[in-house]
Structure 1
Amino acid sequence: MKAVIISEPGAASVLRITERPDPIAGTDEVLIAVEAAGVNRPDIAQRLGNYPAPEGVSADIPGLEVAGIVVACGPGVKRWKTGDRVCALIAGGGYASLVAVNEGQCLPIPENMDFAAAAGLPETIFTVWHNVFQRGKLQPGETLLLHGGSSGIGITAIQLAKVFGAKVIVTVGTNEKGEACLKLGADQFINYKTHDFEAEIPRDSVDVVLDMIGGDYFSKNINLLKPEGRLVYINAMQGSQVSLELWKVMQKRISITGSTLRARDSGFKIALAAEIEEKVWPVIRSGAFKPVIYRTFPFSMASVAHEVMESSEHIGKIILINE
């Protein structure tokens, strides 16, 4: 099979196209002919040598989400058959023409959705559903503060939070990105380059914060959260070392949590996929949630796709297309 590999840790130019042996579907696995693969921040971290693959997963082929066609099924597979169109959350290896994955981590591609759009669903929807709705326990009528509103995670969180009845405030790096978030349903945007978001939002007015920034955002988030508020971390792009004022946490009874998805076991991901298919897939099929694709690139231009992501110019998902 064709695969995009990380030839050595470093800049985007270290990505190379090569040939690798075809994977074989295990007992409970399907083999997917990949039509498209999503590009995500963890792929950048892996390329830089800062996010090693879990044991048993290809160490040099990035990619956490794919869409394609089932071309083989292991003997224990019950749901899928050859020819089915699926998208899947995987632990790595998505930048390749074939991937094998447990059948429970696959979801059916909605009718009338192309492979590029479907490839941008799994990583962001699994992350948002688990962190905003399961860990953050966002409820109808509550307020979500979302940092990185125009990212793949952001555009997903905005739309799902609104569908389930929440108010959404986002921080973004440009007014253009902010306007795009408003069109997706956000109630307010704050350009963090021109305004201090802490000064723009009343204290004790936010129920849930989804943060991928870390650093000095931590104390600001604590100040903005209501009593019983929930602070959820999925990344720490500006630093993981923070100063915690315990009295504020105790007085407000704030819950601080977070997660990483990649290393979780297959059983967890299968259960999460089942809940997402029950709760979120009807929203997607109804048209109330719309994938936002910023740009697509052929696999041969994976290095350019990484450069675009690192520039943070994008609004929505960046997708690789198998040529």
Structure 2
Amino acid sequence: MAAKKKNRDYRLFLSMVLAVVIALLLFTFTLIFSRNRPQDPIATQTLPIMTTPSLPAAPTDITPTQTNLPVNEPTSTAQPTATAVPLASEWREWPILPESISPLMIAVYRAALEQGSDPNKFSKVGDSNSMMPSFLSCFDFGESGYTIGPYTDLQKTIDHFRWSFSRESRATANGITAMGLDTYHWYEDEICWPYESATSCEYRLWKPVIAFIALGTNDAFSKPEDFDKHLRSLVQKSLDRFVVPILVFKADDIEGDGSFNQIIAQIAIDFQVPVWNLWRAMQPLPGHGLRENDVHPSFSNDSLCDFSGNDLKTYGWTVRNLTGLQALDKVWRLLNQAP
């Protein structure tokens, strides 16, 4: 019995020793493998720090002036100058035409020329008041379309931008809003791409260096914050495509408190873009240049572009077309005469 017990104890001892040896071997193998295993390149990779380029700071270009219709000055006097930052709440006192241009817009214009945009083209972005044949189209039809009167200095601009005036823009439509021009196009053809906004389509097709953006009338029936959001987006899309936008204060006050023009003013300040104060230009006219109970300009049955007589004291469309041409002329000259 004693011998059998001794054998059992001996076998138990051998089993324990064997278990310890196996455990030591496993531990040693694991240690060696972990030391020789290659590191995970994703886990050890250091991601680069991304920086966002900042736009150059620049003073804006709007200061109060008199309400008389502007008179073109000799081209040698049109120079970009720094002005005090205006207040959006004082938009009614802003000049009819921009008096200077920001360094940022000069940079955008020069980039446009380098990127292959056409220096002889501008675009229209807006509602029915921006559509042809009413807005500026007369200047593509020679003497039968307009009478320049005393504003002969504008003829060079008319010649320079010929065929942009009467172009049927892809970014104008009756009843359109800023959201409509920002988010999708209205054309069921293959010219504009799927999911491309009407504004982006117009810029891609025409490659302009300047664009009028005249909106807000139809937006007045929506939330102000929606108008602000989509107009900002349109301005940004313009700058991204190296297009200098000219924002337009609308002539009507359909919302009753001028708040939508104030939104336009604030966006102009924030983006340092030029403004054409159409509202101020129309104020001296009968009915402020608008048809009775309407948001469309009044007009003469004879001509929308006769600048030689009393039409400039009577009709909204005559004033709109003259001051629109003057705004284009002023911005173009400021951009090209920058040091």
Q: Could you say which structure has the larger radius of gyration? A: 2
TM over 0.5: no
| Coarse TM-score class (shorter-chain normalised) | under 0.3
> TM-score normalized by structure 2?
0.27
Point out the structure with the larger helix share.
Answer: 2
Q: Which has the higher contact order (CA 8 A, sep 6+)?
A: 2
Q: TM-score, normalised by structure 1?
A: 0.28
